[in-house]
Amino acid sequence: KSIVLFASGSGSNVENIVNYFENNSNVTIAGVLTNKRDAKVIDRCNRLKINALYFNRQAFYGSDCVLEIVRSFNPDLIVLAGFLWKMPNNILENFPEKIVNIHPALLPKYGGKGMFGMNVHKAVRENNDVETGITIHYVNENYDEGAIIYQAKTIVLPDDSPEMIAEKVHKLEYEHYPSTLEKLLAPKT
Ligand code: GRF
């Protein structure tokens, strides 16, 4: 089985997923694609000896170039880990039910355009929510709206800052994203 990852930022989830599957000979990380030339995830990939490929907006939305690269890896899953651009239709159409994202909140709360990273945790803080969490879901043509695969929750304390909430949520991501992917890749019985 093989996974292609998309990331735009730090890539701590990418690193965690790579480490998780390192000792699983049934799952290969075929490569990491990024839309940010200077994303920290590229340094991580160099260190982890994983292919990292950069693409620009034109290649993604104006050609089949990224689609063809993904196809060449023949992935069983396409995994978004902090990837901030909307998936174009050509990729969505060619990989139905195979594209998965993680969102740092309990969708349908705090989803949609502009709701990423610290924006989400600040909104949770401002609304005085008593819990937050992660949502792993399939990707469709709308931000954060595909079918939900898995959610996990954590408590928000009255004194938690957005940064502290972010840390709790990241911990949940590290704990649950790779194992959920592993389940999705397991042969159906
Ligand atoms: C994560 O919080 C993820 O839920 C969100 O973007 C963040 C990525 O963090 N979609 P990192 O780049 O994996 O460190």
Q: Are 165 and 156 in contact (CB under 8 A)?
A: yes
Res 127: pLDDT? 98
Answer whether residue 140 shows pLDDT above 90: yes
pTM: 0.96
**169: its two tokens:** 């949520």
**29: its two tokens:** 């990380």
Ligand 1 atom at minimum distance from 170 CA? 2
Task: Please tell me the distance from the alpha carbon of residue 7 to that of residue 23, in angstroms, as a whole number.
Answer: 22
For residue 159, the CA-to-ligand 1 centroid distance in Å is 23
Q: What is the ipTM of this complex?
A: 0.92
Q: Is the CB of 12 under 6 A from ligand 1?
A: yes
Res 68: pLDDT? 98
pLDDT band, very low/low/confident/very high, at 178 (cuts 50, 70, 90): very high
Checking 86-91 for CB contacts under 8 A at 24+ apart, the result is 86/141, 86/143, 87/139, 87/141, 88/60, 88/61, 89/141, 90/64, 91/66, 91/67
pLDDT digits (tens, 9 = 90+) for 61-101: 999 999 999 999 999 999 999 999 999 999 999 999 999 99
Task: Please tell me the distance from the alpha carbon of residue 1 to that of residue 26, in angstroms, as a whole number.
Answer: 6
Task: Please tell me the distance from the alpha carbon of residue 173 to that of residue 176, in angstroms, as a whole number.
Answer: 5
Q: Is the CB of 87 under 6 A from ligand 1?
A: no
Number of structural domains (the chain) is 1
Which residue CA neighbors atom 9 of ligand 1 most closely?
A: 82
Identify the domain containing residue 61 by its residue range. Answer: 2-185
Residues annotated catalytic, as ranges: 103
Mean pLDDT of the chain: 96
Q: Is the CB of 178 under 6 A from ligand 1?
A: no
Ligand 1 atom at minimum distance from 10 CA? 12
pLDDT band, very low/low/confident/very high, at 189 (cuts 50, 70, 90): confident
Annotated binding site: 11-13, 57, 101
Average pLDDT over residues 18-31: 95
Chain-centroid distance of CA 151 in Å reads 14
- Which of the residue ranges 48-57, 58-67, 128-137, 138-147 would you say has the lowest mean pLDDT? 138-147
Ligand 1 atom at minimum distance from 103 CA? 4
Q: Are 180 and 136 in contact (CB under 8 A)?
A: yes
Q: What are the strands of the beta sheet with 77-80, ordered from one edge?
A: 52-54, 28-34, 2-7, 77-80, 99-103, 131-138, 148-155
For residue 63, the CA-to-ligand 1 centroid distance in Å is 27
Answer whether residue 161 shows pLDDT above 90: yes
Res 143: pLDDT? 86
pLDDT band, very low/low/confident/very high, at 123 (cuts 50, 70, 90): very high
Task: Give the CATH number, domain containing residue 81.
Answer: 3.40.50.170
For residue 58, the CA-to-ligand 1 centroid distance in Å is 24
